[in-house]
Amino acid sequence: MKSQKIRLWIEASRPKTLAAAFIPVLIGCALAWRDGQLSWLSSSVALACAFLIQVGTNFANDYFDFVKGSDTEERIGFRRATAAGLISPRQMLTATTLTMGFAFLLGLYLVWVGGTVVLIIGILSLIFGILYTGGPYPLGYNGLGDIFVFIFFGIVAVMTTYYINTLEWSEHSFWASLAVGALCVNILVVNNLRDVEQDKKSGKRTLGVLFGENMLKWEYMFMILTAYAIPLFFHLQFNYNGWTLLPFLISPWAVILIKTVFTETNKSNLNITLERTAQFMMFFGILFSVGITLN
What's the alpha-carbon Rg for the chain, to the nearest Å?
19
pLDDT in tens, 210-262: 999 999 999 999 999 999 999 999 999 999 999 999 999 999 999 999 999 99
**In angstroms, how far is CA 35 from the centroid of its own chain?**
26
According to DSSP, residue 78 is labeled S
**How confident is residue 1, by pLDDT bands cut at 50, 70 and 90?**
low
Reported CATH class of domain 20-293: mainly alpha
Nearest to 51 by CA among 91, 5, 19: 19
pLDDT in tens, 43-66: 999 999 999 999 999 999 999 988
Q: What average pLDDT is seen over the chain?
A: 94
What was the pLDDT predicted at 3?
76
The answer on pLDDT for 109 being more than 90 is yes
How many Cα atoms within 13 Å fall on the side-chain side of residue 290?
12
- Segment 175-186 shows an average pLDDT of 98
> With left for phi above 0 and alpha for psi between -120 and 50, is residue 78 left, alpha or beta?
beta
| SS3 assignment for 19-77 | HHHHHHHHHHHHHHHHCCCCCHHHHHHHHHHHHHHHHHHHHHHHHHHHHCCCCCCCCCC
Nearest to 233 by CA among 186, 295, 156, 179: 179
What was the pLDDT predicted at 85?
80
pLDDT in tens, 67-99: 887 766 666 767 778 877 888 999 999 999 999
Q: Look up the pTM and report it.
A: 0.94
pLDDT in tens, 239-251: 999 999 999 999 9
Query: Residues in the chain, how many?
Result: 295
* Cα 195 from Cα 101, distance rounded (Å): 31
Q: Please return the burial class of 41, using the count of CB atoms within 10 Å of its CB with bins 0-12, 13-18 and 19+.
A: exposed
